[in-house]
Amino acid sequence: MFESEDILERREDFVREMGARITLLRQGKGWTRGELAQRLEVTRERLGTWERGDNAPPPEGMADLARVLGVSLDELMTGHAPEGRLLTPEECQRIMKHLNNELFRVLRLLTDLEGGDAPQGAWR
């Protein structure tokens, strides 16, 4: 394989992988393709080409895409968050909901084991 073919193949892999990340990040926010496209002020079709890995977003649009999706450019491009990255409000909300559900399970288990009543207001 010629060196230029190898470079093209790596570029295609990169664009495909980034497209998959865009899709996962969008779905993680619970947005449709149309909703993300509207936030980015691009057409749904253009966003579709990015998500399928047919094309990469233009360099000038990468920062907007990362900002709207709530990730760093590093994470958007490589899939790896830099150390010390702050959580987005949506991530915090999801984590808090999970922790609340787990706390509820533990309180219920403890109450059942002790044969007593749950603390006032322990669950809703």
- Would you place residue 123 in the very low, low, confident or very high pLDDT band (cuts 50, 70, 90)? very low
CATH fold of 3-83 reads 434 Repressor (Amino-terminal Domain) (1.10.260)
Kindly state the average pLDDT of the residues 60-87. Answer: 82
> What 3-state DSSP class applies to 72?
coil
> How many percent of the chain have pLDDT more than 90?
35
Please report the pLDDT score of residue 124 as a whole number.
Answer: 42
Tokens of 10: 């790596």
Angle, CA 119 vertex, CA 115 and CA 124 arms, to 5°? 110
Kindly state the average pLDDT of the residues 62-91. Answer: 80
Please report the pLDDT score of residue 80 as a whole number.
Answer: 79
Report domain extents, the chain.
3-83, 87-124
CA–CA dist 46, 61 (Å, integer): 12
CA–CA dist 115, 109 (Å, integer): 10
Kindly state the average pLDDT of the residues 76-103. Answer: 75
CA–CA dist 72, 57 (Å, integer): 15
Model confidence pTM above 0.75: no
